[in-house]
Amino acid sequence: MHGQEDLQTSMFSDISLEERVPRSHPLRRLRGLVDMILGEMGGLFDEVYSHTGRPSIPLEYLLRALLLQTLFTVRSERQLMEQLDYNLLFRWFVGLGMDAPVWDRTVFSINRDRLLCTEMAREFFQRVLQRAEWQGFVSDEHFSVDGSLIEAWASHKSFVKRGWQWPGPSVWA
């Protein structure tokens, strides 16, 4: 018998984000490691925040989002905010609830730039890398590159002689 398509979406869900992420997903182990590092650095974060003015993006969320952007090669803040809006795995890793609003990309970029100018960001990423290596999360056995990113970054048009035809991807195959 042919099943019926349910066109009525549920208004509420009783399944948490935690339940949606498989127990064996590799980001679960990384999230535990990152949470431990962020807990250790909590005192540094408290020193940076002002007690007046509007609240900004919590540094813990910002650092987790930047780590995701790096791990999943998300090319821009616009795409990262889009992923955070609909990707439940990304929401879970960053710490956003199912109904939490996603930040405006310009606000995110401003906060990111401000954070990356500090020693805290460098310290966080160094700790993540050191602990990931120690836990065996990092390996040099496999390496892959998105060729379109390299082309965009290198701006290959500025390196190509006039009249010369790009041979295409078959040269690399």
pTM over 0.75? The answer is: no
- Please measure the distance between the N-terminal and C-terminal CA atoms of the chain and give it in whole angstroms: 47
List pLDDT tens digits, range 37-85.
Answer: 999 998 887 777 677 777 778 889 999 999 999 889 898 999 999 999 9
Q: Please report, for residues 56, 62, 72, 92, 115, the alpha-carbon distance to residue 111 in angstroms, rounded to integers and kept in the order given.
A: 8, 8, 20, 21, 6
The two structure tokens encoding residue 117: 């100018």
Q: Where are the domains of the chain?
A: 17-141
